Chains A and B, each alone.
Chain A
Amino acid sequence: MTLDLNKVAGSIASMASELAMQSSKRVDALNAAIGKFENPGDITLLKQRLAQAKTSWLLAEISGSLNQRFEPLELPPDYLVIATDGSQIDIDRHHPARCCLINIGSIYLQYGQNPASMLESEPTLFSSPEELILKPDGGNPGREISIEGPLLGIKRTVEEFRYLSQLARKLSAGLPALALVDGSLILWGLMSKDLPDFVVDSLLDKGVLKYISEIEKLNSQNQLALASYISFPRSTDVINSLRMTVCPHQVPDCDKFCTGIASGERPCDIMAGVVDRELFWACLKNNQRSDVFISQSKISKTRYGCNQIYFFYIKTGNEIARVEIPEWVACQPELLHITHSLILDQCHKGQGYPIALSEAHEMAVVSGADRQNFFYLVDEYFAQCKLSTLTSAKSASKKNRWI
């Protein structure tokens, strides 16, 4: 039988009441965070403490003044937005064909006197060993890594950036433009210690970072910004940094001072459970953005170089979004203005979410029916070539349900 919701309804009710009971605690924690955000004390001292702190959490490095707010500038009369998004069909281990597919949606929108648009999708099949397996360069020894599962997701991100840089090359020079992707610019999935360095090299250095650098090179007139948009972010970098303001120790060191103290009992736990978006929902007005922070993510600090990731929060009216930008965007006021104003405009046009990303998703999305049709097509061509189309017994059993 299928999922019996009656059986789980009781647990859901308990979960909801538990959260409701915690809500007053969360309000206190949020108020504590707001208090410290508005009155952080000596910012130089706080920056020093953040630089020296040894925490188990990710901190946001303060690049400006922590609590300054910025209004958007007026939109330029003519401007462009490009965006890409991707979707994939992973390798089906129950299918005889070892192949996968990445579908990239690309969007070009020109606003102003000569409005224009381009909406495209481009599927690519990966089936050869060279396409499906990563191995050390130059025949060096080392284990081979198959691109499937989470790694295929990262490969898809690489493809999104490849198409974005191709689109950027086609932009009309002289118009302010924003290149936009969905999600984080930080490839968190590559932080696993289990991954050999050549995998990170292939997907990050020769992949995403190469294409980000290509986009930067096109930015000769400081008119082309690059950003990623994270809707409903769960990040706590800024809250974690605020926790440092209440740490009683000269140099915060979680392992040294707080090991053995139960969670909830530590001095900085007065802000526990609050996420950055809750803080900025309370502290930003509609259309404002926060100051810019620097991500302390290890991969960003050690591998991204001049593309190191900065971020800010923006109140679009519907929600708080996290916008991530490379250093070369964060350090150019013109590009920051373009990013802020154009993202807001995109959200207003897209009922709360950037319209270019929304359309890129629509172009890229692969539905369950698409996936099924893809494998039917593979089977058909296999049959024409007299190749085996035998699937696993498990797969056959799922397809042909019986009593």
Chain B
Amino acid sequence: MDEASSRIAEVTQASTAGFFAQCYELFDLPPLGSLIKCRDGENEILAVTCNASTSSLEPGRRPIARGKTELTEEDVFRSNPQLKQLLKSEFEGVVLGHSFNNEYYHYLPPRPVKLHSFVYLCTTDEIAEFSRSLEFLSLLTSARTDIPSEELVAACIRFISACHADPSTFTAAAGKKLAQIFVDDYPKLRTILLRLKL
């Protein structure tokens, strides 16, 4: 994947712990739990995706059903070419760490990403390298998002494990780390573990 095709979105709202980004292409949303990055000079801020949505660009204008007389869903857009200009796909990035001088750190960066920063999909190598240490699970499990955190944690571990040569070993190690984190919250731990391919 070249740099141009991995650039999928742009930051539209940013804070230390996370950001919101709008996709360049409608519906071109990264999967839940995938890893993305923004650049800050030579360094990078890594985040996990969640809370993806597609909605009207203008808060006061609600999309209405248009397909009653159309044969396919594609035909709805074919008959209404303006729709792609009036809708937006966006998602939230929860920061899991950052890089500095070519080293990954699994805690919050000193500054938030800049507004209008480009958002890139992380490569398999970057994901494998970043997740060599499981310390990122600390930020991941404490993330406050609109979706249940168990769903985000499980989706992220599933996504990252696929980037490792031995996904089962990675998942088992992540499961052990989660057991330490949720030592006093067994129901939550169980919910996550049930969502992992152990």
* Chain B nearest CB, measured from A288 CB (Å): 20
Contacting pair A119 B80 (CB below 8 A): no
* Cα–Cα, bound, A109→B85 (Å): 11
**Residues 61-99 of B at the A interface (beta carbon under 8 Å):** 61, 64, 77-82, 84-86
- Taking CB as reference atom, which chain A residue is nearest B85? A119
* Cα–Cα, bound, A116→B61 (Å): 21
**Residues 218-233 of A at the B interface (beta carbon under 8 Å):** none
Flag whether A115 is at the interface (Cβ < 8 A): yes
- Taking CB as reference atom, which chain B residue is nearest A115? B81
**Residues 341-397 of A at the B interface (beta carbon under 8 Å):** 349, 351, 355, 359, 362
Flag whether A117 is at the interface (Cβ < 8 A): yes
* Cα–Cα, bound, A219→B183 (Å): 76
Known interface pairs A351-B64, A362-B61; A117-B85 also in contact (CB < 8 Å): yes
- Taking CB as reference atom, which chain A residue is nearest B78? A115
- Taking CB as reference atom, which chain B residue is nearest A110? B81
* Cα–Cα, bound, A107→B85 (Å): 11
Flag whether A111 is at the interface (Cβ < 8 A): yes
Residues on B with C-beta less than 8 A from A359 are 82, 86
Q: Which of B61, B77, B79, B86 contacts A119 (CB 8 A)?
A: B86
Q: Which of B61, B81, B84 contacts A111 (CB 8 A)?
A: B81
Residues on A with C-beta less than 8 A from B80 are 349, 355
- Taking CB as reference atom, which chain B residue is nearest A367? B60
Contacting pair B85 A349 (CB below 8 A): no
Contacting pair A117 B81 (CB below 8 A): yes
Q: Which of B58, B64, B79, B81 contacts A116 (CB 8 A)?
A: B81
Q: Which of B58, B61, B64, B84 contacts A117 (CB 8 A)?
A: B84
Contacting pair B82 A117 (CB below 8 A): yes
Contacting pair B64 A109 (CB below 8 A): no
* Cα–Cα, bound, A335→B52 (Å): 46
**Residues 28-78 of B at the A interface (beta carbon under 8 Å):** 58, 61, 64, 77-78
Interface residues on A, range: 10 to 19
Residues on B with C-beta less than 8 A from A117 are 81-82, 84-85
* Cα–Cα, bound, A349→B75 (Å): 12
Contacting pair B79 A109 (CB below 8 A): no
Contacting pair B61 A109 (CB below 8 A): no
* Cα–Cα, bound, A362→B79 (Å): 19
Interface string of A18-32 (1 = CB under 8 A from B): 000000000000000
Q: Which of B58, B61, B77, B86 contacts A115 (CB 8 A)?
A: B77
- Taking CB as reference atom, which chain A residue is nearest B79? A349
* Chain B nearest CB, measured from A119 CB (Å): 5
* Cα–Cα, bound, A362→B60 (Å): 11
* Chain A nearest CB, measured from B180 CB (Å): 52
Q: Which of B58, B77, B82 contacts A109 (CB 8 A)?
A: B82
- Taking CB as reference atom, which chain B residue is nearest A112? B78
* Cα–Cα, bound, A362→B80 (Å): 16
- Taking CB as reference atom, which chain A residue is nearest B82? A117
**Residues 266-296 of A at the B interface (beta carbon under 8 Å):** none
**Residues 113-127 of A at the B interface (beta carbon under 8 Å):** 115-119
* Chain A nearest CB, measured from B33 CB (Å): 33
Residues on A with C-beta less than 8 A from B78 are 111, 115
* Cα–Cα, bound, A138→B153 (Å): 76
Residues on B with C-beta less than 8 A from A107 are 82
Residues on B with C-beta less than 8 A from A349 are 79-80
Residues on A with C-beta less than 8 A from B61 are 362
* Cα–Cα, bound, A311→B78 (Å): 31
**Residues 95-142 of A at the B interface (beta carbon under 8 Å):** 107, 109-111, 115-119
* Cα–Cα, bound, A115→B82 (Å): 9
Known interface pairs A351-B64, A362-B61; A111-B79 also in contact (CB < 8 Å): yes
- Which A residues have a C-beta under 8 Å from some C-beta of B? 107, 109-111, 115-119, 349, 351, 355, 359, 362
Q: 8 interchain pairs (CB within 8 A)?
A: A110-B81, A115-B79, A117-B84, A117-B85, A118-B85, A351-B64, A355-B80, A359-B82
Given contacts A119-B86, A355-B82, 20 further A-B contacts (CB under 8 A): A107-B82, A109-B82, A110-B81, A111-B79, A115-B77, A115-B78, A115-B81, A116-B81, A117-B81, A117-B82, A117-B85, A119-B82, A119-B85, A349-B79, A349-B80, A351-B64, A355-B80, A359-B82, A359-B86, A362-B61
